[in-house]
Amino acid sequence: DAKTTQPPSMDCAEGRAANLPCNHSTISGNEYVYWYRQIHSQGPQYIIHGLKNNETNEMASLIITEDRKSSTLILPHATLRDTAVYYCIVRVQGAQKLVFGQGTRLTINP
């Protein structure tokens, strides 16, 4: 699976949009971009995934650049409960295991 690079930490004000970047410059054509988050001491939670089109669900939006070498996870109206470590994972089609990096520790401030 391709390696991803994320900033180690970010801060965001409550109510504002949180934009979390991820670089995956070595991604190949059959690799998907997945996002999970881990709220303190809990199990990771699936957020969203995409291949090349932008995706949106009830939790977040995923914007993937045209060359697919980077992506941004957007939490449109961050709340204090969104404070967590966010993991960007690139995963080949059909692969089973998830390879977690260090992620981005997002802190939402009141």
Partner 1 sequence: NAGVMQNPRHLVRRRGQEARLRCSPMKGHSHVYWYRQLPEEGLKFMVYLQKENIIDESGMPKERFSAEFPKEGPSILRIQQVVRGDSAAYFCASSLPLRGGWVVNEQFFGPGTRLTVL
Task: Give the residues lining the site for partner 1 (CB under 8 A).
Answer: 32, 34, 38, 41-46, 49, 87, 91-103
β-strand partners of 49: 34
How far is the C-alpha of 25 from the C-alpha of 12, rounded, in Å?
A: 26
Which one, 14 or 23, has the nearer CB to partner 1? 23
Spell out where the chain has E strands. 9-13, 18-23, 31-38, 45-50, 55-56, 61-64, 70-75, 84-92, 104-109
CB of 91 to partner 1, least distance (A): 6
CB of 16 to partner 1, least distance (A): 27
Which one, 68 or 91, has the nearer CB to partner 1? 91
Which one, 24 or 103, has the nearer CB to partner 1? 103
